Amino acid sequence: MLVMGGIIGSGIFMNPSVAARHVHTPFLIMAVWALGGLVALAAGFIWAELATVRPEVGGQYAYLREAFHPLVAFLYGWGLLLVIQTGGMAAVAVTFARYFRELTNLQMADGVLAGLALAVLTIINCLGVRAGGTAQTFLMVLKILAIVGLVVCGFLFAAPSGEGVPDGPALAVLLGSPPSMNLLTMIGAAMVPVLFAYGGWQTATFVAGEIREPAKNIPRALVIGVTGVIILYLAVNFVCLQVLGVSGLANTRTPASDVMRIALGPTGARLIAAGIAISTLGFLSQSMLTAPRVYFAMAEDGLFFDAVAKLSRRSRVPVIAIVMQGTLATVIALSGKYEQILNYVVSVDFIFFGLTAMCVFIFRRRFKAERATGSLARVPGHPVTTVIFITVCWLVVINTVYQYPANTLIGLGILLAGIPAYFLWQRKNRT
CA–CA dist 110, 244 (Å, integer) = 31
SS3 57: strand
CA–CA dist 2, 267 (Å, integer) = 30
Q: Could you report the average pLDDT of every consecutive run of 10 residues in the chain (431 residues)?
A: 84 85 88 92 89 81 92 93 84 85 84 91 86 83 90 88 58 63 80 83 81 83 92 93 90 87 90 88 86 90 89 85 91 76 73 93 78 62 91 84 78 90 87 73
Determine the pLDDT at residue 373.
44
Cβ neighbours of residue 138 closer than 8 Å, sequence gap 6 or more = none
Cβ neighbours of residue 347 closer than 8 Å, sequence gap 6 or more = 397, 400, 401, 407, 408, 411, 412
Q: How far is CA 431 from the centre of its chain?
A: 38
Task: Provide the 10 A C-beta neighbour count for residue 305.
Answer: 14
Q: Tell me the backbone φ, ψ of residue 7, rounded to 5 degrees.
A: -95, -50
| DSSP conformational letter for 56 | -
Q: In this structure, are residues 304 and 425 in contact, taking their beta carbons and an 8 Å threshold?
A: yes
The alpha carbon torsion through 43, 407, 288, 208 (nearest 10 deg) reads 30
Determine the pLDDT at residue 315.
81
Domain ranges of the chain: 2-430
| Architecture field, domain 2-430 | Up-down Bundle (1.20)
CA–CA dist 76, 352 (Å, integer) = 7
145, β-bridge pairs: none
Determine the pLDDT at residue 336.
73
Q: In this structure, are residues 357 and 390 in contact, taking their beta carbons and an 8 Å threshold?
A: yes
Q: How far is CA 378 from the centre of its chain?
A: 23
- What angle do helix axes 181-198 and 26-53 make, rounded to 10 degrees? 50
